Chain A
Amino acid sequence: MTASVSIKLTVNGETVTADVPPRMHLADFLRERLSLTGTHIGCEHGVCGACTVRLDGDIVRGCLVLAVQANGAAVETVEGVSDSGEIADLQEAFRQRNALQCGYCTPGMLLTAQELLAREETPDRETIREHMSGNYCRCTGYQAIVDAVETTARARAAART
């Protein structure tokens, strides 16, 4: 076996230190070591988007980042952005619109949508669809998700003016 590597990072604002095998990806690290199981695993080869987390402020595929690569970084998961209230409006829009069925894709969808909402004031539906196009949902057919993101964008834009 290869040697574990010591890492120190912040996860949802808390400092975490751990010894991890280099082969462990970030999604497994969050789920297995920190019990942050809101980060889901759907394919482990970077296609489905269920494991989306934020790394130093940018969304990434948790299965395509090694935990050792996150040494020194700030990681945020759906649990973190839920507790902070950052996406409370987006979550409420998803709830009202039933923009999730089984809920497995949802954490990744929320983090991906939040990145778009932070960047573009009022993205149109095509832009939303394009931005979300790397996140797989088998249940909804996507329309409800697009609706919820659009509703949130409009509400935030209205709140700003």
Chain B
Amino acid sequence: MNEHNPLTALDRPNSYIGRALPRPNLTRLLQGRGQYVSDMSLPRMAHVAFVRSPYAHARINGIDATEAKAMPGVVAVVTGKELAEVCTPWVGVLSHLKGLKSAPQHAIAVDRACWQGEAVCAVIAETRAAAEDAAERVMVDYEELEPVTDMMTALDSETPLIHPELGDNLAFERNLDVGEVDKAFAEADAVVEAEFVFGRHTGVTLEPRAVIGDWNPGEERLTVYQGTQAPHMMQNIIAKHLGLEEAQVRVVCKDVGGSFGIKVHVYPDEMAVVALSKLLRRPVKYVADRIESFNTDIHARDHRCKAKIAVKADGLITGFAIDDVTGIGPYSMYPRTSAIEANQVVNLVGGQYTNQNYRARTRVVFQNKNVTCQYRAVGHPIACSITEGLVDLAAREIGMDPAAMRRRNLIPDDAYPCAAASGLKFESLSHHASLDKLLSMMDYDGLRAEQAELRKRGIYRGIGLATFIEVTNPSAAFYGVGGARISSQDGVAIRLEATGRIIVQTSITEQGQGSEAITAQVAAHALGVPMERVRVILGDTDNTPYGGGTWASRAAGIGGEAAWQAGKALRTNILAVAASILQADADALDIVDAKVVDKGTDVERMPLEEVARIAYFRPDTLPPGFQPELMAVRHFVPREYPFAFTNGIQASWLEVDPDTGFVTLLKHWCVEDCGTIINPQLVDEQIRGGIVQGIGPALYEHCLYDERGQLTNASMADYLVPMASEMPDIEVGHVVSPTMESELGAKGAGEAGTAGAPAAVVNAVNDALAPFDVRIVEIPMTPEVILRALGKI
């Protein structure tokens, strides 16, 4: 696998690493027999509907729930003030994001609503319909306040302060100045500037957020069924704010209908639900409806960035400079904060290139809109779009082919380890190999010729390239060092059952990525057993080792390595027992296909179930003092590098109708390098799904707010997501540069598609419209945006 730590088990019958195997959990999902939180029902369970602020900013002068409480089926009506008695507020800051500030946020607004959709009162009833009926009768005396909606004027002195106690509307600012930026721009042969605009968008998980709180006063324990990516983080936070010991809280995460970063945060309404369960001493369920999802699921992006690039006539990039502003809503989201995306933009711009002159500023401002926070590929689509947009504009300016421009500037494949201008450390990337592979996969030269030919016939097609880097396998540098109790390590416990079956408990979670599958593959491979023998348990704080969960492209790289190490440890333990039974040298034995065999000849000595039988039922036959340990636990976290960067390149091929501004996607390619590939099918599908999630905001997705802070397209009919008809087929290729931090060598693959897709599509549209000398640096590129750029309207 890699040189400094060679694996010995690569060509065994149970070699599952690297193979495209169907996921074990698909059959039940295909039969409609999954169990999502929204499917669950518990005895005496009540349902919550929230009264939500119709105003972006309003003082709550009073709440009259008299009529609502008298409605049929109503269990209780609880205001923010009442709930604050059982749930303390929080502040979403991290100490390593210096200067980041936010205000205390309550589960339900107490005296002021700060965005349209913020919960101001909870109605609990026997059915959701009854709760909604009563919610309509809750009389809230609002006093509308002036909303802050335009992030570009949020810092102006005449703009009202959302949290006067903070002194201004600035949540966070970061400045970076590396190398000789002024000199680089002064001495450049060409400087290209643009103001990039990134619309606000959101995740639209198909299953909305769902949670059931089940406080059992008899046990003094709270069981929380939640669609979350991070059960242990939730356990800690729920305990902390409800005044419980962590041991009193169990978080169970069953099937989750999509997450993408949406479900890794602490939502005030979900905190309210678990607090209500404690208050009412019965199970309480809340499933956001789609309108609530649009208004309260975290949003993302919403950046405006002035950026420029300095280049020499030969294509060498000599400088990048950016000045970024982003609006995050009225609070920094808890506990991961809403400053990470902007921070990542600063970190990532230009990171694929050799240039070492870089200046960046980002300002993160409060506004009276829904909160933004980490969503798939945090910051990457922005950084990539800025970087790759500038590179294409510069290539056009100096008359250089975009692929050649990239080849001229990408960090050479033999230059590692090295660092980006921003300080990011790269262990081993493969930009040039990836570029070469991509150009060959897409027949770049052939496509260019086809493009030229079609252009003569009035058909405008474009090729857009986008190289990218992607943060994966984050260490404690992401959150832990900032004081958040968010685990960057993961644990796996693996045991041999008496029947020879294998149980694996892992702290990573499954929302469809294939966590269960890759855990089973790695464990079976490490042990030498058929994969069907392995059952994986995850998503339950009572029944898994402590760990981070599944987010930031970490499950395979970190949880996978923990499974590998745990599997190896159990294998050693099993062989020790077998050696004892067989009076053999453990080093001369091996496990193949769930049988202990003689190493080298694979002659069977005894099946695993026989080892287990003796260990569990006839330990009296074992030598005195020898204790079989048929369970092993291992944990893993990367220590040397803060992040295992991956890299890749995408290409989009599309057609633009210059009369209508409509874009037709024809084909998309991606070559990526996530290190060791555990299951190529799952990696490919992460890439494809990620790409389409990046195409969405490039062409369709946009949370549209009016000047009063009203989200005006909060429905699935009005907020457009990519659908089957318009999406292209996507070809995926790989280059493999394993990380040396782990024996497995796997890095993450979940976000790479989303990181690069918008830039590829924007560059392709600009390339298609190059004959019209059009330049579009705004997404989503609606027909209207394109028609305007073309001067048609």
CB of A144 within 8 A of CB of B717, answer no
**Residue on A with the closest CB to B255?**
A103
B29 at the interface (CB under 8 A from A): yes
Please give 9 more A-B residue pairs, beta carbons under 8 A apart, in addition to A38-B34, A133-B723, A143-B727.
A23-B129, A40-B206, A48-B716, A102-B207, A128-B724, A137-B724, A140-B689, A144-B685, A146-B729
Within 8 Å of chain A (Cβ to Cβ): is B149? Answer: no
| Contact of A98 with B685 at beta-carbon distance under 8 Å, contacts A23-B129, A39-B32 already known | yes
Q: Out of B36, B206, B259, B692, which one reaches A141, CB within 8 Å?
A: B692
Beta-carbon nearest neighbor of A39 in chain B? B32
B26 contacts A94, CB within 8 Å? yes
B32 touches A107 (CB 8 A): yes
The residues of B that contact A144 with a CB separation of less than 8 Å are 685, 688
Q: Are A95 and B30 in contact (CB-based, < 8 A)?
A: yes
Given A79-B31, A138-B206: A98 and B691 interface contact (C-beta under 8 Å): no
* B685 A102 Cβ-Cβ under 8 A: no
Q: How far is the CB of B55 from chain A (nearest CB, A)?
A: 24
- Asked whether A136 lies within 8 Å of B30 as measured between CB atoms, the reply is no
For A104, list chain B residues within 8 Å (CB). 34, 36, 205-207, 257-258
- Name B residues whose Cβ lies closer than 8 Å to a Cβ of A: 22-23, 26-27, 29-36, 38-39, 41, 72, 129, 203-208, 255-260, 289-290, 511-514, 681-682, 685, 688-693, 715-717, 721-725, 727, 729-730, 753
Query: Is A155 engaged at the interface, CB distance under 8 Å to the other chain?
Result: no
Chain B residues with CB under 8 A of A50: 206
| Chain B residue nearest in CB terms to A145 | B724
A142-B291 Cα distance, complex, nearest whole Å: 24
Q: Are A43 and B692 in contact (CB under 8 A)?
A: no
Judging by beta carbons under 8 Å apart, are B22 and A37 in contact? no
Nearest-Cβ distance from residue A21 to partner chain B, whole angstroms: 8
Say how far B730's CB is from chain A's closest CB, in angstroms: 6
B258 and A138 contacting across the interface, CB-CB below 8 Å = yes
Contact present for A139 and B716 (CB under 8 Å): no
Name the residue among B22, B29, B690 with the largest chain A CB count within 10 angstroms. Answer: B29
* A142 in contact with B692 (CB, 8 Å): yes
Task: Tell me the chain A residues, 1-49 only, with Cβ under 8 Å from chain B.
Answer: 1, 21, 23-24, 31-32, 35-45, 47-48
In the assembled complex, 7 residue pairs joining A and B whose CB atoms fall closer than 8 Å, in A order, are A77-B32, A95-B27, A102-B258, A132-B725, A139-B258, A143-B727, A144-B688
Instruction: Decide if the interface of chain A is mainly helix, strand, loop or mixed.
Output: loop
Kindly name the residue among A36, A41, A104, A145 whose own CB sees the greatest number of chain B CB atoms within 10 A.
A104
Interfacial chain A residues near B753, Cβ < 8 Å: 141
Residues of B within 8 A of A132 (CB): 724-725
Output the least CB separation between A143 and chain B (Å).
6
Pick from B257, B259, B717: contact of A40, CB under 8 Å: B257
B31–A82 contact, CB under 8 A?
A: yes
Instruction: Identify the 9 closest CB pairs spanning chains A and B, nearest first.
Output: A38-B32, A101-B512, A103-B29, A104-B257, A141-B692, A102-B512, A78-B32, A37-B39, A47-B716
B31 touches A95 (CB 8 A): no
Specify the chain B residue showing the minimal Cβ separation from A87.
B30
Find B38's partner among A1, A21, A41, A134 (CB 8 Å cutoff): A41
Determine the distance from Cα of A21 to Cα of B725 in the docked complex, in whole angstroms: 37
Which residue of chain A has the shortest Cβ distance to B33 in the bound complex? Answer: A38
Name the A residues within 8 Å of B208 (CB-CB).
42
Q: CB distance A138 to B693 under 8 Å?
A: yes
Asked if A129 is at the interface of the complex by the 8 Å CB criterion, the answer is yes
Name A140's closest neighbour in chain B (CB-CB): B689
Residues in A neighbouring B514, C-beta threshold 8 A: 98, 101
Residue of B at shortest CB range from A23? B129
Bound CA–CA A140/B23 (angstroms): 14
Q: In the complex the two chains form, what is the Cα distance from A77 to B26 in whole Å? A: 18
Interface SS of chain B = loop
User: Which residues of A from 102 to 158 have beta carbons under 8 Å from B?
Assistant: 102-107, 110, 125, 128-130, 132-146
Chain B residues with Cβ under 8 A from A77's Cβ? 32
Q: A142-B727, A144-B688 are in contact. Are A103 and B30 (CB under 8 A)?
A: yes
Cα separation A154 to B409 with both chains bound (whole Å): 47
In the bound complex, CA of A26 to CA of B691 (Å): 35
Query: Closest CB-CB distance, A110 to chain B, in whole Å?
Result: 7
Q: Is the CB of A141 within 8 A of B688?
A: yes
Number of chain A residues close to chain B: CB under 8 A: 57
Which residue on B lies nearest to A78, using beta carbons? B32
Complex CA gap A41/B39 in Å reads: 10
Residues of A within 8 A of B715 (CB): 43, 45, 47
A residues near B681, Cβ cutoff 8 Å:
98
Contact A102 B256 (CB under 8 A): yes
Task: Decide: B725 and A101 in contact? CB cutoff 8 A.
Answer: no
State whether A79 touches B26 (Cβ < 8 A): no
CB contacts (< 8 Å) of B204 on chain A: these are: 136, 138
User: A138 contacts B205, CB within 8 Å?
Assistant: yes
CB within 8 Å for A40 and B207 given contacts A103-B26, A140-B689, A141-B688: yes
Cross-chain contact A140 with B688 (CB below 8 angstroms): yes
The closest CB in chain A to the CB of B20 belongs to A98
What residues of A have a CB within 8 angstroms of the CB of B722 in the complex?
141-142
Instruction: State A24–B38 Cα separation when bound (angstroms).
Output: 17
Contact partners of B290 in chain A: CB under 8 A? 42-45, 48
Q: Are B723 and A136 in contact, CB atoms less than 8 angstroms apart?
A: yes
Query: In whole Å, how far is B729's beta carbon from the nearest beta carbon of chain A?
Result: 6
Provide the bound-state CA to CA distance between A107 and B33, in Å: 10
Q: Which residues of A contact B729 (CB under 8 A)?
A: 125, 143, 146
Q: Bound state CA distance, A139 and B258, in angstroms?
A: 7
Contact B206 A91 (CB under 8 A): no
- Knowing A42-B290, A96-B22, A138-B260 touch, does A133 contact B72 (C-beta < 8 A)? no
Tell me how far the C-beta of A32 lies from the nearest C-beta in chain B, rounded to whole angstroms: 8
The answer to whether A133 and B725 touch across the interface, beta carbons within 8 angstroms, is yes
Does A60 sit within 8 A of B, measured CB to CB?
Answer: no
Q: A36 vs B34: C-alpha distance in the bound complex, in angstroms?
A: 11
Instruction: Give every chain B residue within 8 A of A130 (Cβ-Cβ).
Output: 724-725
Task: Specify which chain B residues have a CB less than 8 angstroms from the CB of A91 in the assembled complex.
Answer: 27, 30-31
- Does chain B have a CB within 8 A of A100? yes
CB atoms of A102 and B511 under 8 A apart: yes
Min CB distance, A69 to chain B, in Å?
Answer: 17
A103 touches B716 (CB 8 A): no
- B511 partner residues in chain A, CB cutoff 8 A: 101-102
Query: In angstroms, how far is the closest chain B Cβ from the Cβ of A129?
Result: 4
> How long is the Cα–Cα vector from A128 to B723 in the complex, in angstroms?
12
Nearest neighbor of A134 in chain B, beta-carbon distance: B723
Q: Are B33 and A79 in contact (CB under 8 A)?
A: yes
CA–CA, A110 to B717, complex, Å?
A: 22
In the complex formed, the residue of B with least CB distance to A105 is B206
Most A CB contacts (10 A, CB to CB) among B38, B258, B260, B753 go to: B258
In whole angstroms, how far apart are the Cα atoms of A144 and B258 in the complex? 17
Taking a contact as CB atoms under 8 Å apart, the answer to whether B257 and A95 are in contact is no
Given A102-B255, A132-B724, A141-B730, A45:B33 Cβ within 8 A: no
Residues of A within 8 A of B691 (CB): 141
Question: Could you tell me if A98 and B39 are in contact, using CB atoms closer than 8 angstroms?
Answer: no
Instruction: Determine whether the beta carbon of B36 is less than 8 Å from that of A40.
Output: yes
Contact A140 B206 (CB under 8 A): no
Q: Would you give the shortest CB distance from A17 to chain B, in whole angstroms? A: 20
Complex contacts, A141 vs chain B, CB 8 Å: 685, 688-693, 722, 727, 730, 753
